[in-house]
Amino acid sequence: MSTDTSAAPVFDDAFYAQLTQLFQWRRDVRRFRSDALPAGAIDELIALAALAPSVGNSQPWRFAKINDGERRRAMRDLFEACNKDALNDYHGAQARLYATLKLSGMDRAPEQLAVFCQPETSTGHGLGRKTMPETMDYSVVGAVQTLWLGARARGIGVGWISIIDPMEAARIIDVPDDWKLIAYLCIGYPEEEHIDPELVRFGWQDRLDPANFTITR
């Protein structure tokens, strides 16, 4: 890659190969070491996330660093309750397998970050939202993915916890009423490294061939 900052960079085949590896090794981490991250690491990742594209340049992402012990315990309790309820949706062998899966790294991850969307922000002046207002949420998801890949490039793991009630989570974290929870992230150094997703490793769901969900018109 060119180091000339006065012109657009040229990304060569070697860079593309490394980028592909980055995508392959970005895993949803549930097993963390408890080691603290370097000072300022989370702020650097948030700054990287804010480079993500957003509809109308609205930048609707809002980040909450969850450091308070009581809030963390309340979020862990919320996950446990929601996970127990989710187990009731499965039966037989699938229920038994679900019960063995590790679905959260909340017990060891040194950092927890909640990512919200503020859908009514005036930033961006409404451009692009009238026909597809959901693009505000999509913009925040893009920021989460940017953060995730940036973390992986630094050897840091990220786990996205979706088994939580978003409205109750927002109440626990105590954010403005118009903030919508998009992601609750556990962040830290992974306990183990593997290229295959954990849910593939433990027999929940294999990766699909892209041909299975690609059509031509």
Written as one string, the DSSP assignment of 180-212 is EEEEEEEEE-BSS--SS-HHHHTTS-PPPPGGG
Q: With the C-alpha atoms ordered 83, 84, 90, 96, is the resulting torsion angle positive or negative?
A: positive
Q: Which CATH number applies to 27-204?
A: 3.40.109.10
- pLDDT, one tens digit per residue, over 72-107 is 999 999 999 999 999 999 999 999 999 999 999 999
Q: Where are the domains of the chain?
A: 27-204
Cα separation, 124 vs 54, in Å, equals 9
103, 163 in Cβ contact below 8 A? yes
Interval 49-78: pLDDT, tens: 999 999 999 999 999 999 999 999 999 999
CA dist 149 and 126 (Å) reads 28
| pTM for the structure as a whole | 0.92
Q: Are the C-beta atoms of residues 37 and 48 closer than 8 Å to each other? A: no
